[in-house]
Amino acid sequence: MGRGALPAYMEGWPKPGVPVRLVVKTWSGKVEHIGLALPSSAPKLITMKLQNGYNVSFPESYVDSFEVLEDMPSIEEEVDEIEPQDETLPLVHLIHTGGTIASKVDYATGAVTARFDPHELLDAVPELRKIARIRAVKLGNMWSDDLRPRHWNRMLKATEEAFAEGAVGCVITHGTDTLHISSAAMSYGWSGQGGRPPGRIVLTGSQRSPDRGSSDATENLIASVHWAAHGPAPSGYRDSSVVIVHASSSDGRCAVLPGCACRKYHSSRRDAFKPINQEALAFVDIGGDSVSIDYSPEAHDARVESIAPKQFDESVRIAQFISDPHLHPDQVQGAIDAGFDALLFHGTGLGHLPISDPEEDSLENTRLRVMLEDHISEGGVVVMVTNTIHGPVNMNVYSKGRDQKEIGIIGHGSLCPPGSALVKLHHLLSVGGRESVEEGWEMDLVGENPAFSRS
């Protein structure tokens, strides 16, 4: 079969496993792919396995032409040299940690595996070549739920090295499950002490793997690289680190969210992230052959540029507890006895714990109160956030809250989201001890707490 437009409903598309050369139309021009035909991953899509093992799908309307090949050319025969990048474009470091945005589907098992090498992102998303000069840096292939504070430090170091090499921005590809926590770490690491990073830092991920027709991976990458290369200069407040995700289930518009104050709120939707207690910073619109930024500058003076980010003390350990009917004092005592550096409680409502026993039938409540009182009097750090996610911690409304303040629980008035609060607490403990936490919690360090109120 020779070249020709793909017939409607995939008539003429070769059987699975047949080598094929496919030309597709993108907003940046025609792109040629060589690989093996695969069964369609969804109606009116064509799917093929590229020579590097990556599976891609395109709508039928994207197809310009195709040609069935007698044999599968070797990579060496087909790729004589690496396509040079445009040296006039700004330099952006693409820092790979893992996640769905850089994953493949193993069709033998149906499992999604994080094994996508960073250089393959350029092959899969050639549009990036017209936006920036890309340097790919691989930190690992990790699911985001396996990340620890040591990995925050490696990301901070990688961004520091990128800026030292002349990059104007960095894009960190990351699994979505803890992306908001790592973005907060980049914010506090670079700006928690009052400075700002030398360039833009973007964390991005995708909810759906790149071979799926509904994937958000390509647009998230395009929007992220565009922001990193051409976005506004960071002030160090709210925008020292940003997360870019789909703002809706439709294509063409990505939200730019403050990395210090957002959260993953849905397990599967493409618009899984929302800002907490504040609005989005901007939007990136992708359409036709252009990418644009919808942005209204905030009235914040730019901070002094940081020489290097503040690393997190990797020996710090924080124990977290959910305030509910099954919070028992022996759980908390175990963390105290184990020497955890701080206790972080996700309180009910305005930030409450089960420490009252009005019916005199719940002695464990009284024991928890006495335990916390003793721990704090001996220098222990206890911080409160609210498990309602949105809204402030306000321990002045009810007598219980006022009792919590009286015994020394920190957190009243804070609007900092729970995930960001965990990182803020770790940052302050890395700077100093209890005094740093007490002082720092009343401050709006990076935009995590824009309307801090002690009322």
Please give the positions annotated as active site: 100, 176-177, 264
Interstrand relation of 273-275 and 262-264 (parallel, antiparallel or unpaired): antiparallel
Could you identify the residue written with the tokens 């002349």?
A: 166
- Measure the CA–CA gap between 409 and 373, rounded to whole angstroms: 9
Coil, helix or strand at residue 329: helix
Encoded tokens for 418: 């729970």
Which long-range contacts does 263-272 make (Cβ < 8 Å, 24+ apart)? Answer: 263/180, 263/389, 263/417, 263/418, 263/419, 264/176, 264/177, 264/179, 264/180, 265/389, 268/207, 269/207, 270/207, 270/208, 270/214, 270/216, 270/245, 270/246, 271/245, 271/246, 271/247, 272/176, 272/207, 272/245
Could you identify the residue written with the tokens 């206790």?
A: 343
Q: Percentage helix, strand, coil, to 5, in the chain?
A: 25, 25, 45
Could you identify the residue written with the tokens 């609005």?
A: 279
Other C-beta atoms closer than 10 Å to the C-beta of 350 total 19
Q: CA 355, 263, 447 angle in degrees (round to 5)?
A: 90
Specify which residues 294 forms β-bridges with: 283
Other C-beta atoms closer than 10 Å to the C-beta of 304 total 9
- 376-401 in b/e form (b: 16+ CB < 10 A) is beeebbbbbbbeeeeebbbbeeeebb
- Measure the CA–CA gap between 129 and 435, rounded to whole angstroms: 49
Q: In what order do the strands lie in the sheet with 19-26?
A: 55-59, 45-50, 29-38, 19-26, 63-68
How many helices and strands, by DSSP H and E, does the chain display? 10, 22
